[in-house]
Structure 1
Amino acid sequence: MHFLPKEWIMECWEDGFYITAMAGSAGGSSLVVTSKGTPYAQQSYKVSDSFPFKCINKKWDAGGFRITACAATPDQAAFVLSVPRRRPMEETQETLRMLAFQVAV
């Protein structure tokens, strides 16, 4: 089972809805909330069984992307990165990854 339903998310994005919240369960299922009228102009997400450090850094380096949601099941973690419609005056994000990253619920 996939953590996030890709086709449904793509349809939501096409209709102007963006991911605003997520949750994962110990049983492997997920809950995804999408909303219209968000401050986001674009989104991307990554589902991984390990911490997606390179992917997150690549999005940060591309400019504008910030982590706006994350969730996990026992097997996978998902991170949503968004570009705001209006750039904040100054914003910096950091992540802390423990030596042995494990998805925890």
Structure 2
Amino acid sequence: MPSADPPTAVLAALADPTRWQMLALLADEARSASALSRALPISRAAVLKHLGVLERTDLVRRNRVGREVRFSVDPQRLSTTARWLSETAHAWDVRLAALQRLAEFPPSVEE
């Protein structure tokens, strides 16, 4: 059975294509907000706004390196979300298989 705490905030954060691009870039290497803004067609202010959403959902973490703040992907939160999605998909597969069995072989109705 899926856990009682669906990762709705994570799924909402992942629904934005720009945040997907940011996560893909951060999966390769930790980057600063300035480096991300150079790699994406958005301003540094917009990058910071998106990073805030990703941080609040624990998808990225910040690490200070000297005077620079670098961001990297936190794989734990992605793993937890993937596990929840897998459990939910399995639960629905079981339900749909039972429904299909009923549709193919309906119980006999006695009058």
**TM bracket (short chain):** under 0.3
Q: Which structure shows the bigger proportion of residues in helix conformation?
A: 2
Q: Which structure shows the bigger proportion of residues in strand conformation?
A: 1
**TM-score, scaled relative to structure 2:** 0.24
